[in-house]
Structures are given as structure tokens and as C-alpha cells.
Amino acid sequence: MNISCKAVPCPIARPWARLLAVASILFLGWATVLPSISQADETRKGKPAGKALHPTKVVYDPPASVQSRDVRDALKSDGILESMASDLDKTLRLPKALTLRMGECGEPNAYYHTETRTIFICYNLLTGIEQDLAGVDLRGDALQTAAWHAFVFSLIHEVGHALIDVLDVPVAGREEDVADQLSTYALLEEESVGVEAALNGASWFGARSHGVGQAGAFWDSHALDIQRYYNIVCWVYGSNPEALAHIPESYSLPLDRAVNCPHEYRQLKRYWDRTLAPFLIAPK
């Protein structure tokens, strides 16, 4: 994978630039669709809207390889993490500071660390996603776009864990599913490519489900990758069953599940709308 933008034209610049727009409006989307009921929040009194009390930080660890350095440089150039941090601060009144940190890991992964309130993104995550998706015969621009979409899906999933923690959100079921719900919901708020982005996130889990060992992780805190695939496809379809009527057949979603997807989507949307409403900063 050529992730360096030294080559002109940069082969990855176009899809990245397009998706940057997604990240930029994800959280602003909530601000425009939800009423702010935050006036009673004591921490906000006397503070102008948009000034974060606990600004989200962005940190890049020193890369340990040429590949990691190229990823860091490309992501820094695109400003995806900085945009997400800025949008979080402009949209949500976070009671504690979060950190978005990129660094080295032993495996392509991302996770939320509760003690330090840090979303940690491995330098090799994007490459790993692309390798997974290449296994289902995606190539060229389609592969790069799908990998970027799935990468953004993963970032928002981790933001979901972070919000559950710092906003002290009650979660009675599997937190991993709730984080997937937030990521799907947030992406679908973006009208132009949100459906495509969420479905590419699903396709990544579909691709992973063919990997070694994936089928046996019944003990894991995550649903099986193939279940995460069907969950996301179901929620996307359920978000607009009339306009997206082709999805069950195109994504092999059985009718037995599809009939309940509009209800599932309404449930998750109501959950996140109500959860975030007290923390929204009123749009100017």
C-alpha cells in the first residue's frame, strides 16, 4: 500500500479528502438535529459556547518504521484527528479531557484506555484494514476508499467508548455493540457518503470474518465479526428502508432480520440522541 503522499498525484488523496468532510460534520450533525438542553449544566456557566473546558488533545508517538512514518505524515496532512478533536470540542461539553493518540502496536488495532482517557490508534490499523479488504477482491481506488471508510468507522467506534466513559453513559448490554451503533449512526448523519461509509465498515467486518481464528472467538467481548457485519447492514437499511430497499438482497441480509431493522435503528438513534442531548453545545 502506498500511503505516502510524496507521489504526485497522491493515489490516496482523493478518497481521503472526500471523507475528511465526513469527519468534519459528524458531530456538528448532532448539534443541528438535536435541541440543546444544556443550560442547567453548572460547568458551562459564564463560558462562551464553543470554548472547551477540557480540550481534546492529539498526540503522535514517534514512528518506529518508514511505514508508520508515512502513515503519520499522511494523517497529519489530512488532519483527520485534529478535525475530530475540534468537532468534539465544538459540539459536546465534555466533563473530562480526551486524548486521540497514534502510536505503535503489535497488531492493527485501536482501543480506548479508560485510565488515561485516551483513544489509541495503531499506525498499522489502516494498512491492516486494507489487507483485510483486499482479501475480498477489492482493488485500486475502491479498495482505498473502502479502507478509509472502515478506518473512520473504527475511529468513531472508539469515540463511542470514550463518550460512554467520560459522560458516564449507562450501558446494560454489550458495550461493543453500542459503540458500533454510534459509529453507524454518526456516519449516516453525513448525507453524501454516509451510507457507503457505514457499509464499507460492515464489509471490513465481513472480510475479517473469513480470517484465521475469527470464527472461534465466542468468549470475546465483541460480537463475532460476521455478526457485526449483519448488525451494521441491518442498521443502515433500517435507517431508510424505502430508499435503501436494495440493501437486504445486495448484502445478503435475511428477511427474518431485515423486517425488524427499522425498529432497531429507531431504538439506537433514540438512545444516542437522548444520551448526548444534555451535553450538546447549542449551535451559534
Which residues would be at the binding site for Zn ion (CB under 5 A)? 176, 179
Nearer to Zn ion, 83 or 183 (CB): 183
Q: How near is the Cβ of 163 to Zn ion at its closest, in Å? A: 12
- The single-letter DSSP state of residue 216 is G
Provide, rounded to whole angstroms, the least separation between the CB of residue 154 and Zn ion.
9
Given a contact cutoff of 8 angstroms between Cβ atoms, the answer to whether 278 and 42 are in contact is: no
Is the Cβ of residue 32 or residue 114 nearer to Zn ion in the bound state?
114
Q: How many CA atoms lie within 13 A of 261 on its CB side?
A: 24
| Sign of the dihedral through C-alpha 178, 179, 180, 182 | positive
Q: How far is the CB of 222 from Zn ion (least distance, A)?
A: 7
Minimum gap (Å) between residue 265 Cβ and Zn ion: 20
User: Do the beta carbons of residue 117 and residue 135 sit within 8 Å?
Assistant: no
Is 66 buried (19+), middle (13-18) or exposed (0-12) by CB count in 10 A? exposed
> Measured between alpha carbons, how far is 63 from 104 in angstroms, rounded to an integer?
7
In the bound complex, what is the minimum distance in angstroms from residue 268's beta carbon to Zn ion?
A: 16
Q: Which residue's CB is nearer to Zn ion, number 176 or number 264?
A: 176
CB atoms within 10 A of CB 114: 12
Task: Give the residue with the Cβ less far from Zn ion, 118 or 144.
Answer: 118
Whether a cis peptide bond, with omega within 30° of 0, leads into 9 is yes
Pick 10 or 169: Cβ nearer Zn ion: 169
Contact 201, 187 (CB under 8 A): yes
Please state the closest distance from residue 201 (CB atom) to Zn ion, in A: 13
Residue whose grid cell is 494498512: 127
Strand locations in 63-198 (E): 99-103, 110-113, 118-122
Nearer to Zn ion, 232 or 280 (CB): 232
